[in-house]
Every structure is written in structure tokens, then in C-alpha cells.
Amino acid sequence: MLNFNIDLKGKTILVTGAAGFIGSNLSSKLLKDISGVTIIGLDSVNDYYDVRLKEERLKKLSVFPNFKFIKGNLADKGIIEKIFVDYRPSVVVNLAAQAGVRYSITNPDAYIESNLIGFYNILEACRNNPCVEHLVYASSSSVYGVNKKVPYSVEDQVDNPVSLYAATKKSNELLAHAYSKLYNIPSTGLRFFTVYGPAGRPDMAYFGFTNKLRKGETIEIFNYGNCKRDFTYIDDIVEGIMRVMQHAPEKVNGEDGLPLPPYKIYNIGNSNPENLLNFVEILQEELLAAGVLPSDYDFEAHKKLVPMQAGDVPVTYADTTALEEDFGFKPSTSLREGLRSFAKWYAEYYGKTK
């Protein structure tokens, strides 16, 4: 196991995407658990999905006196430069991005702006501010494309993305590697696998299915139900990020005397792919138990098996060996446990069925 070389106590941490699902949960956990930490949260609070959810997350963070929120666009270089000058963050966690595989097919501009220009602005700010001890950034399991080898290892080649979203995330890794090599910036990329949980993203299957079933609409199960997803519960994702934040890749020189890039990549996934039909069955059981749907709900009448969508992949499956060896951590929340938490939250937030 690696020894932690960054003490987060009393540090100023920049979290981009702070109103997002992962960013808000990470910020809350840091503020609760780390003594004297200050979180600078940046988010554009765009309307890609229900803004009320983002506002609710920010409202819960606002009770912490050490949380400072800045509304702004990651692609606005002036805002990014000002944040680094004004607050001098020691650790930067870049979680802001335009998410969604299918949305990238119809709205490519949003991905270039946020995921490429925005990330470039973060890298430039880190280069120009030596106060930064560690840059941690969100990548995605989508970089593996239609990789035939499973489980997916960080050692695998990832040169064949099947969506623009995946291409931008792979680009982030390449850019971070170049900046780590050129400017000795310690950076760690995290490939997240299908993150879910309470107050999550409505565009994700578990949330979108629930909304549709609640309205009596039909849910579409892609690839005729033959897809598998490595669902990873939000608390496990946050725990993984917090551990990684506390160890910046070491600055060492190679045999030629020049610095080796202080750069690492990790998968964070549950390492337990679930068939989509099994996932839907568990979801419907937990929605019934939580009172989100009536006990006599006819699920079969509201399900439709359809072909694979463009940009999707048949399976995601994380090899977390590197994460386990370096940090002694492996996500372990079962899908049923996670969906139960989501269903209970949904019933509280939107109300039980009448």
C-alpha cells in the first residue's frame, strides 16, 4: 500500500462540478470528516437535467461555513484564473464535465467546451500555481470502448472510443499526462463505472426508469437486455476519491535524469457486472418496497426490449487491482443495497404513490 503524502487537514480544496452528483457528495464528506478543510465549489448549474436537484445539493452544502460556492463556467478562463489567485487551492478535484453518452451525439459543442477547453483551463491554472500539490480528475469507464478483454484494466489500450464523450475523457488523460511530464504536476485520473445512488443524475437508467414507470410510461431496455453494467454506489466512489486525493504520484527522475511524469490512472468500479434485466428486476422490487409504485403495478406492460443504441457498449467491468494494492480499498456496496437507498430517497423526495 502507498503511504499518504498529503494531509488534507486545514487545506483549501477546489471541487469543480460541486453541484453535481459526485461533486456534492464528495464536498459534503470532506467538510464533515476533514478538520479545518475549506472547499471552493465551482459549478455552472446548467439545465442538462433538473436544476432543482442541483440547487438542493448546494443548499445542503451551504450550511457548512467552510464551503464557498462560485457559479461559473469551467470554459471561462478568467474565472478559473481568478479562483486560483484568490484561493490558492492545494488540491484540485475536477469533476465538472458534460456527461452522457447519447447526449454527445446530438450536442457535441457542450462536450468540447466543458470537457476539453474547461479541462485545459484547469491544467493551465495548475501549471501557473505551484501551490497545487495534486490534481485529481474524473475520467470514465467509457474510454474502454468495445474492449473485448474483461475485466477492464488500466493497462489495457484505450484507443478506440465509440462516443464523443469517451473521446473527450481519453483526451483528458492524454492532456494530464503531457502536463505532468512537462511541468511535473502530480495528477491522478479516475475511471468511474456507472455511478448511482440517492439524488443522482436523472439521465441515468435507474433514475430515468423510475421516472417513466411512475408516469406509467414504457421503459426501453437496450440490446434486448443483454448489456451488463458495473454499477458503483456513490459512497464507494467518494471513499475512493478521498483516498486517492491523499497520495499524489511521486516526483522522481528517470534513468536519463529527467523527471518521470507523476501520473496515475485508477478504475473505481464494483467489479461485479449486472445484467440489465436483473438490474430492472431489483429496481422494481425496491420501488415497490419503498412505496414509489403501487403493489399491483404491471411491470411487464411497461417494459420494451430494444436494439443497442449508438455509442453504447455491451459490457463494463472494472479491474480494481491497482486501487486495492495502492489504497487497500475496493467498492463493495451491493446493487440491491444501493437501489434500496435510492428508492427510499425517491419516495421521500417525490412522495409515495397514492
CB atoms within 10 A of CB 144: 29
165 catalytic? Reply is: yes
- Residue 127 domain-assigned (yes or no): yes
Of 103, 111, 165, 196, the catalytic one is 165
Total domains in the fold of the chain: 1
- Residue 288 domain-assigned (yes or no): no
- Residue 166 domain-assigned (yes or no): yes
Domain holding 58: CATH number?
3.40.50.720
Contacts of 53 (CB under 8 A, 6+ apart): 199, 202
What Rg do the C-alpha atoms of the chain give, in angstroms?
20
Residue 20 in grid coordinates: 453535481
> For the chain, where are the E strands, in sequence order?
12-16, 38-43, 67-71, 91-94, 134-140, 187-192, 195-196, 219-221, 228-229, 232-233, 263-268, 274-275, 303-305
- Residue 222 domain-assigned (yes or no): no
- Residue 289 domain-assigned (yes or no): no
Query: Structural domain of residue 182, as residue ranges?
Result: 12-196+231-270+316-331
- Residue 286 domain-assigned (yes or no): no
pLDDT per position in the chain (354 positions), as tens? 999 999 999 999 999 999 999 999 999 999 999 999 999 999 999 999 999 999 999 999 999 999 999 999 999 999 999 999 999 999 999 999 998 888 888 899 999 999 999 999 999 999 999 999 999 999 999 999 988 898 999 999 999 999 999 999 999 999 999 999 999 999 999 999 999 999 999 999 999 999 999 999 999 998 878 889 999 999 999 999 999 999 999 999 888 888 899 999 999 999 999 999 999 999 999 999 999 999 999 999 999 988 877 767 788 999 999 999 999 999 999 999 999 999 999 999 999 886
